[in-house]
C-alpha cells in the first residue's frame, strides 16, 4: 500500500450516464427476472445499422490502391508511400491531404473558406474540449467556463478536472441561452476575478436539451461574445444529423464568425465512432503574456503536440477515403454520406414523435417533449409537479417496465442546481438513435419501446 499523500487531489463526481451504465446490468437482471423486455431509450450511441463498416472497408482499400496507382509504382516489392505514412509516426497536424480535402468539402457545405493549417486533429470532439481547456489552464489563472444549463456531461467532467476553473451556467429557453443571463454570468465571473475564455455549447441537436438554437438567438449570443471578448466553443457532433429542410438549416457559429469561434468537428456520427477522428478549427487570435497576439490554432497545436503528439494517420486516411466518391473523385459535400445515416435516424425520430403525440397529445398540461431538429435526443418533461425523476424513479422504470432512460438532473451544472435545487428533476432525456436490432425489427422494437414508455408515464401520472 502506498504512503503517497496528494492533498491537492479530490474525488470527482460520476456523471449520470456513467452511473446508469454501471447500474444497468443489475437492473436489467431484475427486469428480466420479471419477464420484461428491455427497451433502449437512453443510450446516445450511433446506431449499428449506420455504422456497419464492411462497405467502407472495401471503399477504403480501393482508395488506398487508387493512391498507389497515382503514385505510379510498378514494382510490387516497393512499399507505397500512402501505406508507409498510414502506419508510421506522423506530424501532430496529421496527414496534410486529409486536412486539405476536409477543408474544401466541409467549407463548401457551410459556406466557409477553411484554412487547412487551422485544423488541429483531436481524439473526437471530446478530445477537442480537453485540448482547448488545457490551452487556457496553462496560464494558471482562475477561470470561468461559461456553458448552458443543462449541458453536456463530458464537458462538466473535463471542466471539473481543473481546480482553478468554475462553471458559470446560463439558463435556456426554446431558442437557446437567454441573452440577459449570458451577459450577467460574464459580469459575475469577472467580478469574482476570473478569466472568461469561452462559452461552450452544442447549438445543433443540443445534448442533452434536445433542440437547436434559432438563427436570431445565435446572432444575439455572437454579438455579446464579440462585445465582451470571449470565444464561442462550438461542439458540432450533430451538424449533419439534421432533420430540417435544406433551406431551413441554421448556419453554425463558425460560419457566422470563424475568428470568434472554436469549432469542434467529430467523424463519429457522420463516419464511424471507433477511429475517433476529430478536428478543432479556429481563426481566432488571442492576447497572451506581455500583450502579444497569438493564433489560437498555433497554441492548440503546441498543446496537442504535448497531449497526443502523433494522431493516428491510418484513421485519418480512412476518413479521407470517406470524403471521396466511389470513383475516388473528391466529394463536393458530405450530405450524401449523412443521408445514408439520416434514413434511419429520421425514421426513428418520426416513430418517437408520432408515438408521443398519439398517446400523450391529449394531456398537454401533464407532459411536454422537445421536437429535435437535429441530434439524437428529446427532453421529456412532467408538468404536474408530482413526478420526481430521481434515481429511484429511473430504477422503477427499468425494473417495472423494462425502460432504460436517462434522468436530466445531473446534466445541470452545480451553480444551476444551487439556483434551482429541483433543476432537471422533472425531466428525462429520451434517445431515439440506438437499438440492438435493424430494419423492420428496429421499427417494431422502437414502436414498442415508445408505447411502453407512454403507458408507463400515464400510469405514473395517474391518468391511465
SS (H, E, C) 25-79: HHHHHHHHHCCCCCEECCCCCCCHHHCCCHHHHHHHHHHHHHHHHHHCCCCCCCC
24: domain CATH number is 3.90.1150.10
**C-alpha closest to that of 150 among 188, 207, 189, 216:** 207
CA distance 464 to 460: 8
What pLDDT, in 10s, does the model give residues 2-53?
Answer: 566 656 655 556 555 566 565 656 666 766 777 888 888 998 889 999 999 9
User: 104 and 194 share a domain?
Assistant: yes
Positive/negative CA dihedral, 34, 464, 353, 221:
negative
How many CB atoms are located within 10 Å of the residue 34 CB? 11
Pairing outcome for strands 403-404 and 293-295: unpaired
What pLDDT, in 10s, does the model give residues 333-378?
Answer: 999 999 989 999 999 999 999 999 999 999 999 999 999 999 999 9
What's the total number of domains in the chain? 2
User: 307 and 430 share a domain?
Assistant: no
C-alpha R_g of the chain: 23
> Residue 310 gets which letter from DSSP?
S
Angle between helices 391-401 and 16-33 in degrees, nearest 10? 30
283 backbone dihedrals φ, ψ, rounded to 5°: -105, 15
User: 317 and 340 share a domain?
Assistant: no
Q: Is residue 115 part of a domain?
A: yes
Torsional class of 243: left (φ above 0), alpha (ψ -120 to 50), beta (otherwise): alpha
Positive/negative CA dihedral, 109, 111, 114, 118:
negative
CA distance 83 to 64: 8
Please give the residue range of the domain that contains residue 427. Answer: 16-50+336-461
**C-alpha closest to that of 239 among 259, 260, 217, 268:** 268
43 backbone dihedrals φ, ψ, rounded to 5°: -70, 130
CA distance 263 to 245: 23
Question: In the chain, which stretches have pLDDT less than 70?
Answer: 1-28, 30-31, 464
How many CB atoms are located within 10 Å of the residue 173 CB? 12
Pairing outcome for strands 285-287 and 143-149: unpaired
**C-alpha closest to that of 374 among 351, 406, 342, 337:** 342
**C-alpha closest to that of 322 among 271, 264, 279:** 271
Residue 463: strand, helix, or coil:
coil
Q: Is residue 58 part of a domain?
A: no
In contact, 246 and 342? CB cutoff 8 Å: no
In contact, 406 and 42? CB cutoff 8 Å: yes
Q: Is residue 62 part of a domain?
A: no
CA-to-CA dists, residue 187 to 143, 150, 183, 286, 418, angstroms = 13, 20, 6, 20, 19
* Burial profile 79-97: b = 16 or more Cβ within 10 angstroms, e = fewer: ebebeebbeeebebbbbeb
Q: Supply the pLDDT for residue 453.
A: 97
Q: Is residue 328 part of a domain?
A: no
User: 343 and 318 share a domain?
Assistant: no
Last residue of a domain, one of 322, 350, 367: 322
Pairing outcome for strands 277-281 and 119-123: antiparallel
In contact, 317 and 82? CB cutoff 8 Å: yes
CA-to-CA dists, residue 348 to 33, 43, 376, 404, 442, angstroms = 29, 14, 10, 16, 9
User: 237 and 284 share a domain?
Assistant: yes
Last residue of a domain, one of 294, 322, 350: 322
User: 317 and 341 share a domain?
Assistant: no
Q: Is residue 128 part of a domain?
A: yes
CA distance 247 to 431: 26
User: 97 and 32 share a domain?
Assistant: no
User: 40 and 153 share a domain?
Assistant: no
Residues belonging to the chain: 464
Q: Is residue 424 part of a domain?
A: yes
Q: Supply the pLDDT for residue 184.
A: 98
User: 37 and 93 share a domain?
Assistant: no
* Lookup: cell for 293: 497576439
Q: Supply the pLDDT for residue 24.
A: 59
Q: Is residue 70 part of a domain?
A: no
> Residue 324 gets which letter from DSSP?
B
User: 342 and 313 share a domain?
Assistant: no
What pLDDT, in 10s, does the model give residues 355-365?
Answer: 999 999 999 99
Positive/negative CA dihedral, 128, 130, 133, 136:
negative
Q: Supply the pLDDT for residue 291.
A: 84
Residue 339: strand, helix, or coil:
helix
Q: Is residue 248 part of a domain?
A: yes
Last residue of a domain, one of 322, 348, 369: 322
User: 302 and 180 share a domain?
Assistant: yes
> Residue 160 gets which letter from DSSP?
T
273: domain CATH number is 3.40.640.10
Residue 237: strand, helix, or coil:
coil
Torsional class of 142: left (φ above 0), alpha (ψ -120 to 50), beta (otherwise): beta
User: 314 and 351 share a domain?
Assistant: no
Amino acid at each position: 500500500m502506498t504512503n503517497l499523500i496528494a492533498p491537492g487531489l479530490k474525488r470527482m463526481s460520476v456523471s449520470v450516464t456513467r452511473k446508469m451504465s454501471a447500474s444497468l446490468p443489475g437492473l436489467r437482471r431484475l427486469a428480466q427476472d420479471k419477464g420484461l423486455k428491455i427497451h433502449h431509450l437512453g443510450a446516445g450511441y450511433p446506431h449499428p445499422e449506420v455504422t456497419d463498416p464492411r462497405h467502407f472497408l472495401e471503399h477504403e482499400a480501393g482508395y488506398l490502391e487508387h493512391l498507389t496507382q497515382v503514385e505510379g509504382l510498378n514494382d510490387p516489392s516497393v512499399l507505397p508511400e500512402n501505406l508507409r505514412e498510414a502506419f508510421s509516426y506522423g506530424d501532430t497536424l496529421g496527414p496534410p491531404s486529409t486536412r486539405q480535402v476536409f477543408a474544401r468539402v466541409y467549407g463548401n457545405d457551410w459556406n466557409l473558406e477553411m484554412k487547412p493549417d487551422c485544423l488541429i486533429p483531436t481524439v473526437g470532439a471530446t478530445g477537442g474540449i480537453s485540448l482547448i481547456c488545457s490551452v487556457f489552464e496553462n496560464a494558471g489563472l482562475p477561470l470561468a467556463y461559461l456553458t448552458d444549463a443543462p449541458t453536456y456531461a463530458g464537458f462538466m467532467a473535463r471542466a471539473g478536472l481543473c481546480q482553478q476553473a468554475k462553471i458559470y451556467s446560463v439558463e435556456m429557453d426554446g431558442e437557446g441561452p437567454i441573452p440577459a443571463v449570458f451577459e450577467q454570468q460574464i459580469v459575475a465571473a469577472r467580478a469574482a476575478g476570473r478569466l472568461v475564455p469561452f462559452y461552450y455549447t452544442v447549438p445543433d441537436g443540443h445534448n442533452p436539451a434536445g433542440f437547436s438554437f434559432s438563427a436570431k438567438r445565435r446572432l444575439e449570443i455572437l454579438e455579446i461574445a464579440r462585445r465582451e471578448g470571449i470565444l464561442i466553443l462550438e461542439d458540432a457532433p450533430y451538424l449533419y444529423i439534421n432533420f430540417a429542410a435544406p433551406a431551413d438549416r441554421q448556419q453554425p457559429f463558425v460560419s457566422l464568425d470563424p475568428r470568434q469561434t472554436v469549432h469542434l468537428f467529430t467523424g463519429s456520427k457522420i463516419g464511424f465512432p471507433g477511429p475517433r477522428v476529430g478536428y478543432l478549427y479556429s481563426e481566432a487570435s488571442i492576447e497572451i503574456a506581455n500583450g502579444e497576439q497569438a493564433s489560437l490554432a498555433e497554441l492548440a497545436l503546441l498543446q496537442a503536440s504535448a497531449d497526443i503528439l502523433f494522431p493516428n494517420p491510418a484513421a485519418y486516411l480512412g476518413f479521407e477515403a470517406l470524403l471521396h466518391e466511389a470513383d475516388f473523385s473528391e466529394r463536393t459535400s458530405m450530405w450524401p454520406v449523412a443521408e445514408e445515416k439520416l434514413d434511419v435516424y429520421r425514421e426513428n425520430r418520426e416513430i418517437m414523435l408520432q408515438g408521443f403525440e398519439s398517446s400523450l397529445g391529449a394531456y398537454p398540461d401533464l407532459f411536454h417533449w422537445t421536437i429535435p431538429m437535429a441530434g439524437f435526443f428529446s427532453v421529456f418533461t412532467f408538468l404536474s409537479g408530482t413526478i420526481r425523476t430521481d434515481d429511484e424513479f429511473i430504477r422503477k422504470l427499468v425494473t417495472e417496465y423494462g425502460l432504460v432512460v436517462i434522468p436530466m438532473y445531473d446534466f445541470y451544472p452545480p451553480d444551476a442546481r444551487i439556483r434551482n435545487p429541483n433543476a432537471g428533476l422533472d425531466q428525462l432525456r429520451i434517445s431515439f438513435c440506438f437499438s440492438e436490432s435493424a430494419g423492420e425489427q428496429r421499427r417494431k422494437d422502437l414502436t414498442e419501446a415508445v408505447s411502453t414508455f407512454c403507458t408507463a408515464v400515464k400510469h405514473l401520472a395517474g391518468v391511465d
